[in-house]
Amino acid sequence: MKQLKTIFAAAAMATALVSAPLAYAQEAVSPDAFVKMCDADKDGMVSKAEAMKMIEKMWDKQDTKKMGKLDKKQVEAFLKDLLKPSGG
């Protein structure tokens, strides 16, 4: 019985972890807006370095205490910012 409770708890946790990002992903994410937001050299493409720079900028915006860590509320704001159709 204890093992069954553990399995149900793990399943509930896994569902919650998968559902949260999917809820944000349902918003219309515009590839054009993302390219425009990240494309620092204006070549019409996004390099890994350009994407990482933009993500770091958004991270720093939410890391108001400058701890290098985000709490749950800050992560929520970070994800909303990152997935915003208008591109931040």
pLDDT tens digits along 29-48: 688 888 988 999 999 999 99
Best CA proximity match to 82, nearest among 61, 57, 60, 58: 58
Q: Which residues of the chain have pLDDT under 70?
A: 1-29, 85-88
The whole-angstrom separation of Cα 46 and Cα 44 is 7
Q: Are 36 and 60 in contact (CB under 8 A)?
A: no
- End-to-end CA gap in the chain: 48
Determine the pLDDT at residue 45: 96
Around Cβ 46, how many Cβ atoms within 10 Å? 18
pLDDT of residue 59: 92
pLDDT at residue number 81? 84
Do residues 78 and 59 make contact, with C-beta atoms less than 8 angstroms apart? Answer: yes
Give me the pLDDT at residue 83, please.
78
Structure tokens at 25: 């992903």
Q: Extract the tokens encoding 65.
A: 């205490």
